[in-house]
A and B are shown apart, each in its own frame.
Chain A
């Protein structure tokens, strides 16, 4: 059941993402001043209009996704992120799945320009690290595999 649900959610994520992909491709220079597309939440506080809204987690982990995620991470991520707690260029990945929601992680991977423009937590990280996390053109499906690998790295089975 979980698999099917995840698939539909991923598909929905894809559709949302491809609708906004024009924006994310037109410029990679610092666009801190772009207009905030904030929407009011139930509590009245404003939060960004995340492209990936809900991620269904697997339990137990999907071994194939863990393996895929590891391969993509070694190609596109681990130059700057260690698998331990220490910061290289960006924060270490150890414990990330307990610190951050799965949706936040996948939005950060797939839509970093929007996150740095609108998400307070992402902005805090930029202030700490001072290097904008690169858009590595990772698909939503690949970011889901990276998440699976991160959970594996955090000791989940």
Chain B
């Protein structure tokens, strides 16, 4: 019996192999795919994503960290995680949000907010193309926009957005990064804020904020457009012929304030909103705005010279009421509860995905302009004209899949739309709206990303699926599973699945670009001569300990492999001790760490040439050890020191030393 079973199994297995072989052999040869780097002898797909030891990836992929509040940086095609950039959340690993220098970055009008929900990374653009200068990302919960400098991969600015809630349709830059935007997904009462929730229709308003970006990257809330109390979900700026406009998907036109799952899904069509931001600029220049001073907000900036952030309080924004300025804002009917809105590379077509709709509408910018010129309105709501659907429509993609969410574009006239409910990507031709290919994704895809696929110049042969549900794709890790992305080749007619890779937090959206756009400008260390930190010790000669009442400042240096000073006495219980560590190294990849026992914050990771500060408030007398946490040399284990803490009333003199008899103050 046993042998018979085994034989049957062998036969079955063999026939499966044969069948598989036949299928493989029958696979249509795709001439366009022949440019893919398939190395002979390998299993094609593996070779396409394999990056050999010592070799580097061709692309950077920046994924939002979702509820981690951070940003993941990956290499493609390998899918290897190469960095996690702390933005809105404290990051004990390098002291972000714990060190004295970084704490101001997380200040808000609500006080210190050490977390946010980061959604949409967006690379800066010049002339509608990726320029590799910065990456912007929104904080959804406590409305903020952050700017990351791609020379240092560091968050250098976080700007709070006042009069806003649920900062979701953000940051979506204009083609020359003139502005990044911030639209409210949750309308809120603006003037009088303590009102009954039942008074939603009367008191709640949406706000579309335009944040200017200066030549050096500095952000400022330039103006805000007051809108009806709808939910403004996602956005993209026009480009080419549509430059000067931006588009927002708009749902809950029912203006419901409860059980929105049902009550905000009543209408067959909600709106696509078109905003003429060039006109808004002119209105502001002509003084046609009201100043709204309901709420303070914060502008937090990093200074590379002092290696420190400052947080500024601001008050007052310039507000333009959309209903009072004809020509500024138009609504277009859009089926049903639209989510993503995406503009194709030519800037002529605008795709808005009705996430509960069976079709995918494609709007045409020239038809929108014509309808505006002809006043081709089907009516007016809250003083804003609604253009006729048929007048602005290029066509509808029929049966694209279930739950269309987001669209990106290749450079060959095709669009790729994610289908959340049917878990697939649908490829269709922009001009004809004809579906040409589909590929399943695992599982429940949200956003998707093509390198440059949101700009005038798509550059990659990949689409990255950013999936909401992971289920069984990886080894199980208890109830909480990793998040997941997938890499798909789009060089040929047929999309081909290449790779699964896990991501940090929920990867809402991502941006990818050629690595060469960024690699050449990398900062490798900070010049110690240019360090303007007020407590920098530029050389061991400047290392010292200064007492100022109960405040003690330790100016300490680190170099492979010792601290100066490394013996300190005369600290007392009740002192507030500031450890200012200057890393004297002047070479790439030589950070030093600093940790002191009992510190109730985190460690410091200090880059070469940088100064960073950790506060420590010892609660009891004794000798406490401190050490370097980042393995720096063969004598890293020796990189340690002692600090003596004496009772508050003790008369132990303040002294410090390195390798010699103690010096005194």
Binding site for B on A (CB under 8 A): 25, 28-29, 74-76, 78-80, 88-89, 130-132, 134-138
Please, how many angstroms separate the alpha-carbon atoms of A49 and B659 in the complex? 38
**Is the Cβ of A131 less than 8 Å from the Cβ of B634?**
yes
**Is the Cβ of A25 less than 8 Å from the Cβ of B584?**
no
Nearest 7 CB-CB pairings of A with B:
A79-B559, A135-B587, A136-B586, A137-B586, A75-B539, A130-B634, A74-B539
Query: What 0/1 pattern do residues 532 to 568 of B give for CB contact below 8 A with A?
Result: 0000001111000000000000000101111010000
Contacts of B524 in A (CB 8 A): 25
Please, how many angstroms separate the alpha-carbon atoms of A76 and B586 in the complex? 8
**18 extra interface residue pairs, beta carbon distance < 8 Å, beyond A130-B633, A131-B561, A131-B635:** A28-B588, A28-B589, A75-B528, A75-B529, A76-B584, A78-B539, A79-B539, A80-B559, A89-B559, A89-B560, A89-B562, A130-B635, A131-B560, A134-B560, A134-B585, A134-B587, A135-B586, A137-B587
Please, how many angstroms separate the alpha-carbon atoms of A134 and B525 in the complex? 13
Check if B180 is an interface residue, CB within 8 A of chain A. no
**Is the Cβ of A76 less than 8 Å from the Cβ of B560?**
no
**Is the Cβ of A134 less than 8 Å from the Cβ of B659?**
no
Contacts of B528 in A (CB 8 A): 75-76
Contacts of B585 in A (CB 8 A): 134, 136
From A137, which residue of chain B is reached at the shortest CB distance? B586
Contacts of A76 in B (CB 8 A): 528, 539, 584, 586
Which residues 606-635 in B have Cβ within 8 Å of A in the complex? 633-635
Contacts of B587 in A (CB 8 A): 28, 134-137
**Is the Cβ of B590 less than 8 Å from the Cβ of A134?**
yes
How many residues on chain B are close to A (CB under 8 Å)? 26
**Closest CB-CB distance, A30 to chain B, in whole Å?**
10
Please, how many angstroms separate the alpha-carbon atoms of A136 and B585 in the complex? 6
Please, how many angstroms separate the alpha-carbon atoms of A74 and B539 in the complex? 6
Contacts of A80 in B (CB 8 A): 559-560
Please, how many angstroms separate the alpha-carbon atoms of A80 and B562 in the complex? 9
Which of B524, B529, B584, B587 has the most C-beta atoms of chain A within 10 angstroms of its own C-beta? B587
Can you list 6 A-B pairs with a CB-CB distance of less than 8 A? A76-B586, A78-B541, A130-B635, A131-B634, A134-B587, A138-B586
Contacts of A136 in B (CB 8 A): 585-587
Please, how many angstroms separate the alpha-carbon atoms of A76 and B561 in the complex? 14
Which residues 509-527 in B have Cβ within 8 Å of A in the complex? 524-525, 527
Please, how many angstroms separate the alpha-carbon atoms of A88 and B524 in the complex? 27
From B588, which residue of chain A is reached at the shortest CB distance? A28
Binding site for A on B (CB under 8 A): 524-525, 527-529, 538-541, 557, 559-562, 564, 584-590, 633-635, 659
Contacts of A130 in B (CB 8 A): 633-635
**Is the Cβ of B539 less than 8 Å from the Cβ of A134?**
no
Which one of B525, B540, B659 contacts A78 once the chains associate, using CB atoms below 8 Å? B540
Please, how many angstroms separate the alpha-carbon atoms of A75 and B582 in the complex? 11
**Closest CB-CB distance, B28 to chain A, in whole Å?**
43
From B541, which residue of chain A is reached at the shortest CB distance? A74
Contacts of A88 in B (CB 8 A): 659
Contacts of B588 in A (CB 8 A): 25, 28
**Is the Cβ of A28 less than 8 Å from the Cβ of B590?**
yes
Contacts of B586 in A (CB 8 A): 76, 134-138
Please, how many angstroms separate the alpha-carbon atoms of A130 and B590 in the complex? 16
From A113, which residue of chain B is reached at the shortest CB distance? B587
**Closest CB-CB distance, A139 to chain B, in whole Å?**
11
**Closest CB-CB distance, B515 to chain A, in whole Å?**
15
**Is the Cβ of A79 less than 8 Å from the Cβ of B561?**
no
Contacts of B560 in A (CB 8 A): 80, 89, 131-132, 134
**Closest CB-CB distance, A82 to chain B, in whole Å?**
9
**Closest CB-CB distance, B543 to chain A, in whole Å?**
9
Please, how many angstroms separate the alpha-carbon atoms of A25 and B520 in the complex? 12
**Closest CB-CB distance, A26 to chain B, in whole Å?**
9
Contacts of B539 in A (CB 8 A): 74-76, 78-79
Contacts of B659 in A (CB 8 A): 88
**Closest CB-CB distance, A146 to chain B, in whole Å?**
13
Contacts of A138 in B (CB 8 A): 586
Report if A89-B529 is in contact (Cβ < 8 Å); known contacts: A134-B590, A136-B587. Answer: no
Please, how many angstroms separate the alpha-carbon atoms of A135 and B659 in the complex? 24
**Closest CB-CB distance, A101 to chain B, in whole Å?**
25
Contacts of A137 in B (CB 8 A): 525, 527, 586-587
Report if A89-B589 is in contact (Cβ < 8 Å); known contacts: A75-B528, A79-B539, A137-B525. Answer: no
**Closest CB-CB distance, B585 to chain A, in whole Å?**
6
**Closest CB-CB distance, A33 to chain B, in whole Å?**
12
Please, how many angstroms separate the alpha-carbon atoms of A135 and B540 in the complex? 18
**Closest CB-CB distance, B633 to chain A, in whole Å?**
5
Contacts of B525 in A (CB 8 A): 137
From B558, which residue of chain A is reached at the shortest CB distance? A79
Please, how many angstroms separate the alpha-carbon atoms of A74 and B584 in the complex? 11
**Is the Cβ of A79 less than 8 Å from the Cβ of B540?**
yes
**Is the Cβ of B633 less than 8 Å from the Cβ of A75?**
no
Which one of A79, A131, A134 contacts B564 once the chains associate, using CB atoms below 8 Å? A79
Please, how many angstroms separate the alpha-carbon atoms of A136 and B524 in the complex? 12
From A86, which residue of chain B is reached at the shortest CB distance? B659
Please, how many angstroms separate the alpha-carbon atoms of A114 and B539 in the complex? 26
From A80, which residue of chain B is reached at the shortest CB distance? B559
From B633, which residue of chain A is reached at the shortest CB distance? A131
**Closest CB-CB distance, A75 to chain B, in whole Å?**
4
**Is the Cβ of A132 less than 8 Å from the Cβ of B540?**
no
Please, how many angstroms separate the alpha-carbon atoms of A88 and B527 in the complex? 24
Please, how many angstroms separate the alpha-carbon atoms of A137 and B528 in the complex? 10
Contacts of A25 in B (CB 8 A): 524, 588
Please, how many angstroms separate the alpha-carbon atoms of A136 and B529 in the complex? 12
Please, how many angstroms separate the alpha-carbon atoms of A79 and B525 in the complex? 18
**Is the Cβ of A75 less than 8 Å from the Cβ of B584?**
yes
Contacts of B633 in A (CB 8 A): 130-132
From A135, which residue of chain B is reached at the shortest CB distance? B587
Contacts of B634 in A (CB 8 A): 130-131
Please, how many angstroms separate the alpha-carbon atoms of A74 and B542 in the complex? 9
